[in-house]
Amino acid sequence: MERVLGAWWVFALLSALFAALTTIFARIGVQNVNSNLATAIRTVVILAIAWGIALARRETDGLASLDRRTLVFLILSGAATGLSWLAYFRALQLGPTALVAAIDKTSLVMIIVLAALWLGEPLTWRTALGATLIVIGTIIATR
């Protein structure tokens, strides 16, 4: 399967699985704690895991040679991630898990549009149709 689809499919499916587990575990975890504190605790765990893997695999050699543009966009990505998590954890405290997750997943539609506008990635009729169906499905699921 990996040879046909490419390794990225395996990692994408693992990402989806872990994202699903993240939502379930977060919903349980934020019940009796401030959502910002919960996000801070989660972030420390992620930090330890990410640096642990990078250090164990000796993948930190290029750190000193990162160019300014790369560093700026990685920092912006980190800031966007942090803000997303803060909003997501608060939404999980306030709303039903499945509805919060459904609305959160409309980020795919936003990614499709932004990737076309900013990255010049193709916006095919199939991609546009898929994005439209995601929006329709989200509306149906959240009503």
- Is 57 in the same domain as 21? yes
- Is 61 in the same domain as 114? no
**Whether pLDDT at 3 is above 80:** no
Distance between CA atoms of 78 and 84, rounded to whole angstroms?
10
Q: Which of 114, 94, 90, 104 is nearest to 141 (CA)?
A: 104
pLDDT digits (tens, 9 = 90+) for 4-44: 567 888 988 999 999 999 999 999 999 999 999 999 999 99
The predicted structure's pLDDT at residue 8: 87
- Is 131 in the same domain as 81? no
- Is 84 in the same domain as 32? yes
- Is 89 in the same domain as 109? no
Does this model's pTM top 0.85? My answer is: no
Give the pLDDT mean for 93-97.
Answer: 94
Q: Give domain status of residue 19, yes or no.
A: yes
Domain that holds residue 130: 105-143
| Structural domains of the chain, count | 2
User: Predicted confidence band at 95 (pLDDT cuts at 50, 70, 90)?
Assistant: very high
Q: Give domain status of residue 87, yes or no.
A: yes
pLDDT digits (tens, 9 = 90+) for 97-143: 999 999 999 999 999 999 999 999 999 999 999 999 999 999 999 88
Q: Give domain status of residue 114, yes or no.
A: yes
